[in-house]
């Protein structure tokens, strides 16, 4: 068989790429499909996931707040050869960003990575562990804590941390990792402290700037299809995503209305205001500080602790603005708003200092 041409090339061998290739092969057995990706899948989100069917457990206050809530071209392989196909599906997880950056600036929302840590453990002396999945509700700034039993002899999966960032991170920080293990022992079962760690799993969740996935064709580049940005729910949603992507590839692009908002070429979907997002950030940071054990004396209340976090939020938003400006040349208005929030934060801080 000629190795340089295929009918479909899928770039990425995580759950989304593999599900899409599987769906295509079931529907059109004669199709010549290539899945490209490194065998070790280092940093792939799919390898680190607990693979729970937990979309609803991940819902946040903003989840339902918005209606959106061939040219024959070649893929260059690591060895230097190219592989051509009329359809190329990019399912490269958080690395999809590198493909987005090849397109005209701002055509497709940028991709961040939500770095996550999980551990595979075994109970001491093969003692029995949990016999069903347990998870906490969502926790500030992250998803809930999860424990998934893995068969007998006390094997368990404990996850997961989540730190979204524009910057490429090779792994979670010591502090974040420490917190995961500490909370597992304190919130689930203190005897987990005796468990042995068999493997540390690190994966980068693909998350777009607006938080919604990129699913479908890129009209300005015929033959290019994106299937990424599933963030915390890629396993849960892959059985729905793969048939849609197969429809697009096989030209049955009667897009189901559910998928219309996720067309890759779109301006970022705005589902909240900067002010509301800042307030939410401040609330999360304060709740996180309490969860981590902070204790404030009676004379320091919520306003005091909010002021510092608010200026941090303004700084964080300014950072996003820089990335957005780089890509779209827009969002001056948001920067103005961020500045006024920062001014509000300093005014609040001044009020606090003046209080008797
Ligand atoms: C700790 C953690 C826990 C999670 N828990 C759950 C859960 O319980 N339930 C759930 O539904 N979801 C969960 N998720 C989210 C889920 O894992 C992701 O949404 C999903 O795995 C994303 O799949 P993907 O195929 O898009 O990306 P990935 O799994 O990241 O796969 C992308 C692949 O593409 C490859 N690649 C990248 N660039 C290239 C290139 N240029 N050429 C070729 N190959 C390339 C990479 O090496 C990688 O193998 C979790 C994620 C993490 C990190």
Average pLDDT over residues 213-234: 94
* pLDDT at residue 301, rounded to an integer: 62
- For the chain, give the secondary structure using H, E and C: CCCCECCEEEECCCHHHHHHHHHHHHHCCCCCEEEECCCCCCEEHHHHCCCCCCHHHHCCCCCCCCCCCCCCEEEECCCCCEEEECEEEECCHHHHHHHHCCCCCCCCCCEEEEEEEEEEEECHHHCCCCCCCEECCCECCECCCEEEECCCCCEEEEECCCEEECCCCCCCCHHHHHHHHHHHHHHHCHHHHHCEEEEEEEEEEEEECCCCCEEEECCCCCCEEEEECCCCCHHHHHHHHHHHHHHHHCCCCCCCHHHHHHCCCCCCCCCCCHHHHHHHHHHHHHHHHHHCCCCCCCCCCHHHHHHHHHHHHHHHHHHHHHHHHHHHCCCHHHHHHHHHHHHHHHHHHHHHHHCC
* pLDDT at residue 340, rounded to an integer: 40
* pLDDT at residue 273, rounded to an integer: 86
| Distance in Å, CA 204 to ligand 1 centroid | 7
* pLDDT at residue 198, rounded to an integer: 96
Better-predicted residue by pLDDT, 139 or 187: 187
Asked if the model's pLDDT at residue 329 lies above 60, the reply is: no
Say if ligand 1 is within 6 A of residue 44 CB: yes
* pLDDT at residue 286, rounded to an integer: 81
| Distance in Å, CA 339 to ligand 1 centroid | 36
Say if ligand 1 is within 6 A of residue 95 CB: yes
* pLDDT at residue 60, rounded to an integer: 64
Q: Which of 34-43, 131-140, 238-247 has the lowest mean pLDDT?
A: 131-140
Q: Which residue, judged by its Cα, is nearest atom 3 of ligand 1?
A: 49
* Closest ligand 1 atom to Cα of 204: 53
Say if ligand 1 is within 6 A of residue 90 CB: no
Asked if the model's pLDDT at residue 283 lies above 90, the reply is: no
* pLDDT at residue 345, rounded to an integer: 39
List domains and CATH numbers for the chain: 8-110+209-262 (3.50.50.60), 114-207 (3.30.9.10), 274-354 (no CATH)
Local confidence band at 333 (pLDDT 50, 70, 90 cut-offs): very low
Asked if the model's pLDDT at residue 344 lies above 80, the reply is: no
Average pLDDT over residues 123-134: 92
**Mean pLDDT, the chain, as a whole number?**
82
* Closest ligand 1 atom to Cα of 91: 26
Local confidence band at 71 (pLDDT 50, 70, 90 cut-offs): very low
Task: Select from 19, 48, 93 the residue to mutate for testing ligand 1; criterion: most ligand atoms less than 8 Å from CB.
Answer: 93
* pLDDT at residue 295, rounded to an integer: 80
Average pLDDT over residues 47-74: 64
Q: Global pTM?
A: 0.84
Asked if the model's pLDDT at residue 104 lies above 80, the reply is: yes
């Amino acid at each position: 068989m000629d190795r340089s041409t295929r009918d479909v090339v899928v770039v990425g061998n995580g759950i989304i790429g593999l599900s899409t290739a599987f769906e295509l092969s079931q529907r059109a057995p004669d199709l010549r499909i290539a899945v490209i990706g490194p065998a070790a899948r280092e940093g792939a989100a799919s390898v680190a996931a607990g693979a729970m069917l937990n979309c609803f457990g991940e819902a946040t206050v903003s989840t339902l707040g918005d209606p959106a809530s061939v040219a024959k071209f070649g893929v260059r392989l690591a060895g230097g050869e190219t592989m051509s196909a009329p359809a190329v599906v990019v399912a490269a997880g958080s690395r999809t960003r590198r493909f987005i950056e090849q397109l005209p600036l701002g055509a497709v929302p940028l991709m961040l990575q939500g770095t996550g840590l999980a551990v595979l453990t075994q109970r001491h002396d093969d003692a029995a562990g949990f016999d069903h999945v347990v998870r906490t509700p969502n926790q500030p700034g992250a998803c809930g804590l999860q424990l998934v039993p893995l068969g007998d002899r006390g094997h368990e999966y404990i996850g997961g941390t989540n730190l979204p960032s524009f910057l490429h991170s090779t792994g979670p920080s010591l502090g974040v990792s420490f917190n995961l293990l500490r909370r597992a022992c304190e919130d689930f079962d203190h005897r987990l402290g005796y468990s042995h760690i068999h493997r540390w799993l690190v994966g980068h969740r693909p998350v777009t700037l607006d938080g919604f996935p990129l699913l479908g064709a890129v009209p300005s580049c015929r033959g290019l299809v994106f299937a990424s940005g599933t963030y915390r729910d890629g396993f849960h949603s892959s059985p729905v995503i793969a048939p849609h992507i197969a429809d697009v590839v096989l030209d049955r692009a009667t897009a189901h209305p559910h998928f219309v908002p996720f067309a890759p070429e779109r301006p970022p979907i705005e589902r909240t205001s900067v002010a509301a997002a800042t307030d939410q950030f401040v609330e999360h940071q304060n709740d996180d500080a309490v969860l981590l054990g902070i204790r404030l004396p009676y004379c320091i209340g919520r306003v005091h602790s909010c002021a510092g976090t608010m200026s941090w939020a303004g700084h964080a938003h300014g950072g996003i603005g820089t990335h957005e400006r780089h890509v779209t040349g827009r969002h001056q208005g948001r920067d103005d708003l961020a500045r006024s929030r920062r001014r509000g934060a300093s005014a609040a801080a001044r009020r606090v200092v003046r209080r008797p």
